[in-house]
Amino acid sequence: MNDDLVQPYKQGDDLDAALFAKIRKYVYEKAKINLGDNKMELVRARFGKIIRQRQLKGFHDYFNWVRADASGDALREMLNAISTNLTSFFRENDHFVFLANTILPELAKNPTARSGGKIHFRVWSAGCSTGEEVHTAAIVISETIAKPEEWDIKLLATDIDTEVVAHGRRGVYDRERVDSGVKRSLIDKYFTPCLKENGREAYQVKDTLRRLITFRHLNLFSDWPFKRKFNLIFCRNVMIYFDRPTQESLINHYFEVLTPGGYLFIGHSESLSSISHKFEYVKPTIYQKPAASR
Ligand SMILES: C[S@@+](CC[C@H](N)C(=O)[O-])C[C@H]1O[C@@H](n2cnc3c(N)ncnc32)[C@H](O)[C@@H]1O
């Protein structure tokens, strides 16, 4: 057993710099998430909440408990607590315009995208948070394609945070979130008004969209169990968590699971300029796997 697993608990067990350093290392090993020096207060606040809820003695006690938990549930809860899930409908809208105006028309003309009489389109929202990104993509696709019966469309949405994955799968969003991001005509077409358990007004995404999307828990640094390649990967506002070598290996892994000619979208504040990769630059935050590559 690891020595400091059996360290006696001290009353008033707070988060000090030494423990924060151990937590950082542990989180990096498990999820490659790089907690900067400035994240100590965030960790104190978010872990403090779990410590109170679980009536643990303090931060050392909590960290020992997470590491001793063979089920992995405590680790999942810890990662849920530190992930930052900020997202919204139609966030960074240029990507959705590019999807509608370039990717879908290109694919419709591309004979290699067809098999069994259908045009196959596979999209992955990697680091999907609560699902606004993938639902926006599904709306844009549904609005753009003229003959849905000619298409075989599947969207995969994955995240390391189990709670956001469950949220996305339910597809229920507070009314203000939807009203502030989605045009009225699209709300009427793709959402059904509902009430949450707490009585708040909300909308649920209609089944026409939900049946196109699969939500799954996935740590980007675990094995990727995909059978088919993707035509488009959204990895937006996720790489900010990772250091440069981790970003580089992730980007090169995306390259492998894209079809030739497939696209990668990254967040508007992100860039691949300091990373060695084989993508072609299309325009800021949009990259393409060369059509000639495998
Ligand atoms: C800021 S959100 C971005 C959501 C969405 N892509 C967007 O741009 O609106 C970042 C997401 O990345 C997820 N994430 C962080 N590290 C991850 C990892 N190692 N594997 C999978 N998802 C991860 C977080 O849980 C979080 O939901």
CA dist 26 and 66 (Å) reads 10
Q: Which CATH architecture has domain 3-82?
A: Orthogonal Bundle (1.10)
Q: Please report, rounded to a whole number, the percentage of residues in the chain having pLDDT higher than 70.
A: 96
Instruction: Compute the average pLDDT of residues 219-244.
Output: 95
Long-range pairs of 193-196 with CB within 8 A, sequence gap ≥ 24: 196/172
Query: Lowest-pLDDT range, 71-80, 110-119, 135-144?
Result: 110-119
Q: Is the pLDDT score of 112 beyond 60?
A: yes
Q: Where are any strands of DSSP class E within the chain?
A: 114-115, 118-126, 151-159, 172-174, 191-195, 201-205, 213-217, 230-235, 258-266, 280-283, 286-288
Residue 8, CB-side half-sphere exposure with 13 Å CA sphere = 2
Looking at residue 240, what is its pLDDT? 87
Ligand 1 atom nearest to 91, measured from its CA:
9
In the predicted model, what is the mean pLDDT of the chain?
A: 93
If pLDDT is split at 50, 70 and 90, which confidence band does 19 have?
A: very high
**What's the CA-to-centroid distance between 82 and ligand 1, angstroms?**
11
Which of 93, 123, 159, 254 should be mutated for ligand 1, with most atoms under 8 A from CB? Answer: 159
Nearest to 182 by CA among 166, 193, 167: 193
CA dist 236 and 219 (Å) reads 15
Both tokens of residue 265?
Answer: 């979208």
* Burial of residue 123 (number of CB atoms within 10 Å: 0-12, 13-18, 19+): buried
The two domains 3-82 and 94-172+206-288 share their CATH topology (first three levels equal)? no
CA dist 48 and 168 (Å) reads 26
Nearest to 209 by CA among 291, 133, 109: 133
Break the chain into its structural domains and give their ranges: 3-82, 94-172+206-288
**What's the CA-to-centroid distance between 4 and ligand 1, angstroms?**
31
**What's the CA-to-centroid distance between 287 and ligand 1, angstroms?**
19
Do the beta carbons of residue 279 and residue 287 sit within 8 Å? yes
Looking at residue 9, what is its pLDDT? 42
Backbone dihedral angles phi then psi of residue 172, each to the nearest 5 degrees? -110, 125
Nearest to 254 by CA among 211, 209, 220: 220
Over the stretch 230-239, which tens digit does the pLDDT of each residue have?
999 999 999 9
Q: What is the DSSP letter of 55?
A: T
Instruction: Compute the average pLDDT of residues 82-86.
Output: 90
Q: Is the pLDDT score of 196 beyond 60?
A: yes
Q: Is the pLDDT score of 135 beyond 70?
A: yes
Looking at residue 8, what is its pLDDT? 40
**What's the CA-to-centroid distance between 266 and ligand 1, angstroms?**
12
Instruction: Compute the average pLDDT of residues 144-151.
Output: 95
Which of these CATH numbers, 3.90.1200.10, 3.40.50.150, 3.40.50.720, 3.40.50.2300, describes 94-172+206-288?
A: 3.40.50.150
Do the beta carbons of residue 95 and residue 236 sit within 8 Å? yes
Over the stretch 266-293, which tens digit does the pLDDT of each residue have?
999 999 999 999 999 999 999 999 998 7
List all residues whose CB is within 6 A of at least one atom of ligand 1.
Answer: 31-33, 83-87, 91, 127, 129, 133, 159-161, 164, 219-221, 236-238, 241, 267
Ligand 1 atom nearest to 219, measured from its CA:
20
Looking at residue 12, what is its pLDDT? 61
